[in-house]
Structure formats: C-alpha cells, structure tokens
A and B are shown apart, each in its own frame.
Chain A
C-alpha cells in the first residue's frame, strides 16, 4: 500500500510573535505534525510575494505566513502591510484556479502556542486530501 501523503509546509513566522508562539507550543510540549518547517523572518511585513511563490515553486504543498495580531506588531505596522499584500496574492491565486487552501495567513501572538498548534494541525488536515501541489512546482 502506498504511504499516506505527507504535505510539506513552509511557515514564515515573524520573530516576535509567531515564532515566539511556536516556541511556547514547544515549551508546553504540545504536539503537532512534523510536516511544517519554520523560517523565522523579522516581520510578517518582510514576506515578499516572491517568497511565497518560490516556496510553491520549490515544492511546498502549503505555505503559511504568520505575524503579530493587528496593533501588536513589534515594528508597529509591518503586519498591516503584510495583510494587504497577502490579501492580493490570495485573491490572485484563487482567480487563477490554484487551490486557495494551500496558502494561509494567521495572527499568532507569543502567548498563542495552542493556536499555533491548531493552525498547523488543521493545515495538514486540509492539505492531505488535496494531494501534492504540482501546479507551481518546478519540474525536475
């Protein structure tokens, strides 16, 4: 029997909230699937659409961008710019017929280890039935 499909997720986490939130999940020994590899960036506002597309291009089945809640950004307003930019990317991806569920954004504060865990669990569950992402994946 073929092995169950294990989606690969790249998560761009801002250093101050979401990465700290995932640290808290760790400290609290919460369990979530190992499908996600985090990349800690300074701010969700620094996540360029190119990063997201590149992740899909390099074979990600799902991409998560996570930042501080509105009003809590360590850099005051980076997450607001991220919110606007990512809304546009998301709209466009959906318009082109790419599965919109493959790309998510979340607000995870440094205190929300539980939320981070849930987001990853849910994301994996959403991605599994979708199967591998091939539309934007560079052919080897």
Chain B
C-alpha cells in the first residue's frame, strides 16, 4: 500500500535556494518510489504557493504531502490547511525543515543539498506511515470547582461566577476567608484586611452562581478535563444554619474551653463556636473533637438553651457529588511552626510570636482589641525584635526557599507596632531586604525614615528568657559586631509552607508537588497557573509563597484559564496520542508509571490509553520493553525509517 506523496520544495527567496540546490532536491525526491509529484517554488507559504499545493493534490491525486521549507513551528499549520483545502487529511502533511536546520547553518552548497535531500526523504518516509486522524472531541460540563476559599479561591470563584458559570467553592474550615481575614492591615497601603475582604466574602455567600460547601473536603475524584466527577465530604456542624438565629446563647453555657484557631491560640473558644464575627456562612459549628459527647446524656447544655432547636447531635457527614469541567486549586499556606525553631525557643516562650499571631495582636478585632500587649503579662512591650527569614533560606535546617512576603510584612509589623506604641523601639534582623513590587521599596524606606525602625543586617543565633525579658543574641554584619538585645517581645517571620494536607489533596487530584510541597505548575515560566493535569489550575500560595496582589492576579489568571474550557461546548484534543498494541502488552505497568499525565491505566492486564489526557510525549513507548505502545504518527517504525533516510540508506 504505497502512498502518493507530493514533495514541495520552497526556495524561501534565496534563504533556502541560496545554499541548497532546490531543483536538485525536488528532482531527487521525485524519483522516490512513494513520491508521485515533486516541484519547487519560490515562496510556498505565499497564497500562490499554497494554491500550487492544493491544486497539485487534486491534479496528481496525492494522498500526502511533504513541504521542505522552514521550521514547522512557523508554517506547519499553514500547510496542514493547504492539505485540507486539497481534500486530504491534515495529518497527511509533514514539514522537512531545510532552512533553520540546513540552509541557514551551512555554506557548502553541495553538502547542504545532500543534507536537505536526507531531511526531506526522512519526512517522506514519515508521512508514508502517517495515519489520517481527526481531532478528538468531547463535551464539557460547564461548571467549575474551586478548592480553598482564601483570597485566591474567593477571587477565582467570583471571577467565574460573574461570567455566568456555576462554581462549587469547597472550603475545609467552617468559614471562608483563609489567612487574609486574620490579618490586621495589609502592605503597602495599610488598609484594613477585613474591610477589603469581607465584602467579597459576603458576595460569595449571596452569589446565585456559587454553591458554597464549607467544613468540606474533597474525597475522591475521577474523570478528566471538561468532565470531572468530584466526591466531597461535608462534615457535620451539628447546627442547622437555617434555624440558628445567632443569639449566642449556646457559647455561654458550653463548659468546654479550647484554644482558638482564628486567634492562633492567643485566646480560647468554646466547643460550639463561630470562628469570628464576620464568618461566612454566619453560623455556629459544634466541634465534635472537643465536645464532651454528642450524646445529650454527656452534656447537651447547648441544645437545652437553643430556642429555635437548631442543634442536632445526630447530624451525619454528607457525601456530595459534583460534576465539573475545570478545577481551581487554591489551598493556600500555613506558617512553618514555631515549634520547629529550636534556636528560637521551639515555641515555648509566650512572648515569642509568629507573624500571624502578631497580626491578631494588632487587629482591632483581635484578642486585645488592637492594643499591642505581651501575652505573658499584658504589659506594653517597649522593645520588640523582629526576626526575618525565620525558617526561610535555611537549606540545612529548615526551608531552602525565600518566603517572599516576610520582608514586607515585617516592615509593616514594625510600623504598626510603632503606631500603637510610639515610644517603643523596633529592631529588625534581616539577611536581605527583598522589596520588589509596586510601592514596596518606598514602604520599607518609610518604616526606616518615618518610624525609626532599626534594621540590623544579620542573623539571630539564639533567643532565651532572661530576667523576664527575651534576650536576643544576634550579629550586625555591617557593623561587624555582636548584638545583644533584651526585648519585651520577639516576632518571628516564619516561613510560608504549603497548607497542611495539601500533599494528600495533590495525590488525590493526581497533580504533582515540588520538592518543598508546593503544587507544581505545568511550566515554571510559560504555564504558571496550570497544573500538569489538563483542566486543573493553581492559584495563590498553594503554588508558591506570594502576597495578596499576586495571589489575586494568579486567581484571576486561573479563572480565565478555567473559563476558556467552560466557554466551549466541546473540547478538542490533538489526536496524536499513544496507542497500545494489546497483543504485545503484558500489563507490566511501566508505561503507566512514567506517564506524566495519568493517561494510561491497566485494564484486564493490558494498558489502556485515555486519549483525552494523553499529550503524546512518547515516554511510554521508549519505556515499554515490548514495543506495545507507541504514539500515532511518530511510531518506532516511522523513526526507524527516518533513521535510515537520515543516513542516506
């Protein structure tokens, strides 16, 4: 079954013809047994050039074409369209790159011509074994899911919902808002975090296109881009939000006192609680880990005082199934635990705080109503030491990476402290100041110039309690001397790390994580909001440490990417994908292991290709010991023939 291939050699003006004898190439290839027609032309990509191809296909009844011209990155599509216009399948067109890889890099005309012949012959051999393929088309479930409802998740959900698509927003905590709602003010403008975030939270709760699932976690996922099926477990809150009137009688009778997550342990809360006054959804949650017993026999005080009868001890976890076409993952960050910092007291000194605790301390709604007081004795601290890079940039002991936001928020902390305690002194130990960003450098300068913050370039080696103070031993490398400060309070700019259990979620979603546990983007430069799995996008600090504007920007980027899927009724996918040869497959599963896209699976002891997920990289085919899997139109047989042609054989 020989093909009737047409070979079209382009002069590209003198770009090719100046070095390669194009007529000779066309003549030589014309003698190939599978070539039914060959010619050369000055500009194949021009309209007349394309028409020449289209007409030649019809006139010479060609079933495939090879165009010897420039790199396929430039005109592959052009000539595929010319093939289509001639009435043949677009995958029956191949490019032989005789410009970038030949005429432009050689001067010897004779040798370049021979090489161009080989390259063209190689393409002829390839196209001779090409299959005609049609793009794979499949329908899209036109709604989205966002996992994580911090600022990134909220932004992504709102962006998509405002475009008219339904969004399922899943949050594991009882309220949305993430870490941003815990912050007091935000850099570099010092506007109040709650003031700018809570309107967005309310918008989420009221949005007709957003289905909010709080206190919920993704449990299972199947499907692929355009068609995911997600099982979500909604944990019982034991409080019916429709009946609850927010009278707050329940917390008054609850006998349990446990540490408050929202205030990071600086205050306490009851077993039945509302995470914070602006919580969305605005309702109470009964925390069954701390409640003495869900049996009314054990306690039952809250149910007794609840007039509307909103408390239901028999509430069970609920499994909710959602069909979505795209998923945005915005699981955010947690701080690197103070307990990990042996050199800074392992979290055992009450007056050594982490960045988020200090935020709560400065917050008007915080445990001290916005007064900066020492947790140990509620005195106003007069000397505060801020330590940057606490856990960051320390590959030996902690995290190797830069957490990116600490330089800025530490400057902010020092400033806020000075605004609260004008006669106090703030010291900041730093390695470098990284203040890249709009208005950021000016902000740091303002801390130094207006608020008299003392920046000390060096690391703190040790802190310990001494005479009711925290003694800080550090070094000022610029002055070249050791520093000892007896501080009233120390604030550690703890590193950002991926939120707890993000790795488990990543495993569930089959997206990869990087060496530090952050979600891995598809390409570090060119695909920064996409995960490696088609249809799953990344937003916010789950992907890498970032500040609020960056998280919001990435969220909008992720939303736009997801919308690009949702806005289509059908998705198309390149059909140049892997194909298995069942007779040869023994089901060893090595190809399944190497596939970066989870496109392969074993069924009844044979490999199966999910053509929608496959990107056609061919790593499976090189891994298979039995040649039982190959990529269409670049099969081992084709490569074998191409090798032969390339060597002039």
Do any beta carbons of A and B sit within 8 angstroms of each other in the complex?
yes
Whether A60 and B621, one on each chain, are in contact in the complex, defined by CB atoms closer than 8 angstroms, is no
- Kindly state the separation between the CA atoms of A109 and B211 in the bound complex, as whole angstroms: 45
B619: which A residues are within 8 A, CB to CB? 43, 45-46, 75, 77-78, 81-82
Whether A41 and B639, one on each chain, are in contact in the complex, defined by CB atoms closer than 8 angstroms, is yes
Identify B122's interface contact among A20, A23, A37, A82, CB under 8 A: A37
Q: Say yes or no: A34-B102 contact (C-beta < 8 A), given A45-B622, A59-B649, A81-B622.
A: yes
- Kindly state the separation between the CA atoms of A78 and B621 in the bound complex, as whole angstroms: 11
Whether B647 and A76, one on each chain, are in contact in the complex, defined by CB atoms closer than 8 angstroms, is no
Identify B108's interface contact among A34, A39, A59, A117, CB under 8 A: A34
Please tell me if B274 contacts chain A, counting CB pairs below 8 Å: no
- Kindly state the separation between the CA atoms of A25 and B100 in the bound complex, as whole angstroms: 7
- Kindly state the separation between the CA atoms of A59 and B618 in the bound complex, as whole angstroms: 25
Nearest-Cβ distance from residue B617 to partner chain A, whole angstroms: 4
Whether B122 and A39, one on each chain, are in contact in the complex, defined by CB atoms closer than 8 angstroms, is yes
Identify B617's interface contact among A29, A32, A48, A75, CB under 8 A: A75
Contact string against A for B residues 612-649, beta-carbon threshold 8 Å, 1 for contact and 0 otherwise: 00011111011100010001001010011011101111
Q: Say yes or no: A76-B107 contact (C-beta < 8 A), given A37-B118, A37-B119, A42-B631.
A: no
Q: Say yes or no: A38-B101 contact (C-beta < 8 A), given A43-B619, A74-B523, A81-B623.
A: yes
- Kindly state the separation between the CA atoms of A74 and B597 in the bound complex, as whole angstroms: 12
Please tell me if B115 contacts chain A, counting CB pairs below 8 Å: yes
Whether A58 and B617, one on each chain, are in contact in the complex, defined by CB atoms closer than 8 angstroms, is no
Nearest-Cβ distance from residue B577 to partner chain A, whole angstroms: 11
- Kindly state the separation between the CA atoms of A22 and B107 in the bound complex, as whole angstroms: 16
Please tell me if B360 contacts chain A, counting CB pairs below 8 Å: no
Which of the four size classes fits the interface of chain B?
A: 35 or more
- Kindly state the separation between the CA atoms of A71 and B627 in the bound complex, as whole angstroms: 27
Identify B596's interface contact among A24, A31, A76, CB under 8 A: A76
Please tell me if B111 contacts chain A, counting CB pairs below 8 Å: yes
Among A26, A54, A72, max chain B CB count under 10 A is at A26
Whether B647 and A10, one on each chain, are in contact in the complex, defined by CB atoms closer than 8 angstroms, is yes
Whether A58 and B596, one on each chain, are in contact in the complex, defined by CB atoms closer than 8 angstroms, is no
Nearest-Cβ distance from residue A50 to partner chain B, whole angstroms: 7
Q: Say yes or no: A46-B631 contact (C-beta < 8 A), given A26-B99, A51-B636.
A: yes
Whether B643 and A27, one on each chain, are in contact in the complex, defined by CB atoms closer than 8 angstroms, is no
Whether A78 and B617, one on each chain, are in contact in the complex, defined by CB atoms closer than 8 angstroms, is yes
Identify A85's interface contact among B101, B520, B621, B622, CB under 8 A: B622
Chain B residue at minimum C-beta to C-beta distance from A12: B639
- Contact residues, A1-57 vs B (CB, 8 A): 8, 10, 19-20, 22-27, 29-34, 37-43, 45-51, 54-55
Contact string against A for B residues 171-186, beta-carbon threshold 8 Å, 1 for contact and 0 otherwise: 0000000000000000
Chain B residue at minimum C-beta to C-beta distance from A37: B646
Contacts between the two chains (Cβ within 8 Å), count: 138
Chain B residue at minimum C-beta to C-beta distance from A79: B619
Chain A residue at minimum C-beta to C-beta distance from B112: A34
- Kindly state the separation between the CA atoms of A37 and B644 in the bound complex, as whole angstroms: 11
Chain A residue at minimum C-beta to C-beta distance from B620: A46
Q: Say yes or no: A23-B97 contact (C-beta < 8 A), given A37-B118, A78-B596.
A: yes
Nearest-Cβ distance from residue A87 to partner chain B, whole angstroms: 14
Nearest-Cβ distance from residue A90 to partner chain B, whole angstroms: 15
Please tell me if B400 contacts chain A, counting CB pairs below 8 Å: no
B102: which A residues are within 8 A, CB to CB? 26, 34
Q: Say yes or no: A26-B618 contact (C-beta < 8 A), given A10-B647, A39-B642.
A: no
- Contact residues, A57-99 vs B (CB, 8 A): 58-60, 71-72, 74-78, 81-82, 85
- Kindly state the separation between the CA atoms of A29 and B107 in the bound complex, as whole angstroms: 10
- Kindly state the separation between the CA atoms of A115 and B634 in the bound complex, as whole angstroms: 27
Q: Say yes or no: A51-B532 contact (C-beta < 8 A), given A37-B646, A39-B122.
A: no
Please tell me if B104 contacts chain A, counting CB pairs below 8 Å: yes
Nearest-Cβ distance from residue A109 to partner chain B, whole angstroms: 11
Whether B594 and A27, one on each chain, are in contact in the complex, defined by CB atoms closer than 8 angstroms, is no
Whether B622 and A47, one on each chain, are in contact in the complex, defined by CB atoms closer than 8 angstroms, is yes
Chain A residue at minimum C-beta to C-beta distance from B522: A76
Nearest-Cβ distance from residue B246 to partner chain A, whole angstroms: 49
Nearest-Cβ distance from residue A4 to partner chain B, whole angstroms: 12
Please tell me if B73 contacts chain A, counting CB pairs below 8 Å: yes
Please tell me if B586 contacts chain A, counting CB pairs below 8 Å: no
Whether A37 and B115, one on each chain, are in contact in the complex, defined by CB atoms closer than 8 angstroms, is yes
B523: which A residues are within 8 A, CB to CB? 72, 74
A43: which B residues are within 8 A, CB to CB? 617-619
- Kindly state the separation between the CA atoms of A102 and B324 in the bound complex, as whole angstroms: 52
Nearest-Cβ distance from residue A31 to partner chain B, whole angstroms: 6
Chain A residue at minimum C-beta to C-beta distance from B525: A72
Whether B594 and A45, one on each chain, are in contact in the complex, defined by CB atoms closer than 8 angstroms, is yes
Please tell me if B46 contacts chain A, counting CB pairs below 8 Å: no
Q: Say yes or no: A81-B594 contact (C-beta < 8 A), given A26-B100, A46-B621.
A: yes
Nearest-Cβ distance from residue B516 to partner chain A, whole angstroms: 14
Whether B636 and A55, one on each chain, are in contact in the complex, defined by CB atoms closer than 8 angstroms, is no
Whether B105 and A30, one on each chain, are in contact in the complex, defined by CB atoms closer than 8 angstroms, is yes
Chain A residue at minimum C-beta to C-beta distance from B98: A26
Nearest-Cβ distance from residue A8 to partner chain B, whole angstroms: 6
Q: Say yes or no: A46-B105 contact (C-beta < 8 A), given A10-B647, A51-B639.
A: no
Identify B640's interface contact among A32, A54, A60, CB under 8 A: A54
Whether A41 and B71, one on each chain, are in contact in the complex, defined by CB atoms closer than 8 angstroms, is no
Contact string against A for B residues 38-58, beta-carbon threshold 8 Å, 1 for contact and 0 otherwise: 000000000000000000000
Whether B634 and A29, one on each chain, are in contact in the complex, defined by CB atoms closer than 8 angstroms, is no
Whether A23 and B639, one on each chain, are in contact in the complex, defined by CB atoms closer than 8 angstroms, is no
Please tell me if B106 contacts chain A, counting CB pairs below 8 Å: yes
- Kindly state the separation between the CA atoms of A82 and B617 in the bound complex, as whole angstroms: 12
- Contact residues, B467-526 vs A (CB, 8 A): 512, 520, 522-524
A30: which B residues are within 8 A, CB to CB? 105
Whether A20 and B622, one on each chain, are in contact in the complex, defined by CB atoms closer than 8 angstroms, is no
Identify A31's interface contact among B97, B107, B114, CB under 8 A: B107
- Kindly state the separation between the CA atoms of A95 and B612 in the bound complex, as whole angstroms: 43
- 23 contacts across the A-B interface (CB closer than 8 A): A23-B97, A25-B100, A31-B105, A34-B108, A34-B115, A37-B115, A37-B122, A37-B647, A39-B642, A39-B643, A42-B616, A42-B618, A42-B634, A45-B618, A47-B622, A59-B649, A71-B524, A72-B523, A72-B524, A75-B619, A76-B522, A76-B532, A78-B596
If A34-B111, A45-B622 are given as contacts, then 4 extra A-B residue pairs at C-beta distance below 8 Å, sorted by A number, are A8-B647, A51-B643, A72-B524, A85-B623
Binding site for B on A (CB under 8 A): 8, 10, 19-20, 22-27, 29-34, 37-43, 45-51, 54-55, 58-60, 71-72, 74-78, 81-82, 85, 117
The 8 closest A-B pairs by CB, nearest first: A46-B618, A26-B100, A45-B619, A75-B617, A37-B646, A26-B104, A23-B100, A48-B622
